[in-house]
Structure 1
Amino acid sequence: MDNIIIKEASPEDALARIEYSKKIGSETDNLSFGAEGFPISVEGEEEYIRSVLKDERSCSFFAWRDKEIIGDVSLSGMPRRMNHRAELGITVLKSEWNKGLGSRLLEMAIEYAKSHGIEIINLEVRSDNFRAIHVYEKFGFRKMGTSPAYFKIGDLYIDFDIMYLDLRKN
């Protein structure tokens, strides 16, 4: 975990974020995209980051090492009568798996949620991604169901577990 800096995303990070999405997408089938990365322009990503910065119930943090993004975590606040909830997204480069970066990013997201009135965090995770599920459970997330055939990669259907963390109890 040496030389890792975690900081809030800024619009100036947009190009690095798009390049990161291509790298992370090529390493795993756990994401909604592959090696093509996000289908968004640099300007679109800049605007997205600006919108996250304006929303007090949303956040995006990037983990950096030597000017390269190696992990990220985000909370996307939900609107109206669901504004006590947020959706979690987290990725870590494969070279950083099992080194504690995912846990560190998850801790940051949970602390952000607690300090910004978010009471429930939701996430979706491949049902066969036991490593990620173990980390989520370690932080108190609980499975509430399974979404069958959530992904389709080629001819293969992949189920996802729906999990939540209820911060009202803590």
Structure 2
Amino acid sequence: MFDYTVRAATVHDALQLSNLRQLVDKETDHLDREEGEQVLSEAQFREILIKDHEEENRYCVVAEHNQQLVGFARLQGSNLKRFQHHVEFGAAIQKSHWGKRLGTRLLQDCLSYADDHQLAKVTLRVQESNYKALQLYKNYDFVIEGTLNDDKRMPDGTLQHTVLMARFLT
């Protein structure tokens, strides 16, 4: 049974989102940031969420379990007219809630939003070694547009490739 609520984020989620982002940054190497990098305060998250509600090419969705946020995803677009037709997708889920199809639910919600708002292209970046995420995106018609070789230096010193993917409105 799916014991989670997936819903659009509100400004009232700012504190929990700030805390969740910091937690997830220290739990996984799949994201761009390491623990303590580019920390967003409650006030900064509130500003982001306000803009997400004002602009059609921005959106944030959260996954909630027992009244606690355990995951979120965002679509981030550009203000430049030539790029307003596409958005970049990103998601983060608390490690203790991995394997419960939250990534799928968050992705589905974001793709529905993109389709409803005629956003012609959804892009994302995923670490080449994140096999489960790569397969999920392929299952939702994302195609590989390219690879950034040796793009990320990991804590152990190894270099990881980043895969650039896109899904087009049909």
Regarding TM over 0.5, the answer is yes
User: Which whole-Å CA distance do the structure 1 matches of 2:30 and 2:148 have between them?
Assistant: 15
Q: Deviations over 1:29-85 (max 9, x none)?
A: 011123326422221111111111111111000101112111111111223111111
> 1:149 maps to what in 2?
150
Output the amino acid matched with 2:159. Y
Identity of aligned residues (%): 25
Structure 2 unpaired stretches of 5+: none
Aligned partners of 2:53 and 2:143: how far apart in 1?
Answer: 28
> Which piece of structure 1 moves more, 2-11 or 134-143?
2-11
In structure 1, distance between residues paired with 2:106 and 2:141 = 15
More displaced stretch, 102-111 vs 28-37: 28-37
* TM-score normalised per structure 1: 0.92
Report what 1:32 is aligned to: 32
RMSD of aligned alpha carbons: 1.5
Preserved contact between residue 22 and residue 34 of structure 1 (Cα < 8 Å): no
Structure 1 residues without counterparts, runs of 5 or longer:
none
SS of aligned partner of 1:132: helix
Secondary structure in 2 aligned to 1:81? helix
Q: How many residues of Structure 1 are paired with residues of Structure 2 in the alignment?
A: 168
How do residues 8-157 of structure 1 correspond to structure 2 at under 5 angstroms?
A: 8-36=8-36, 38-78=38-78, 79-154=80-155, 155-157=157-159
CA contact (8 A) 1:150 1:157 kept: yes
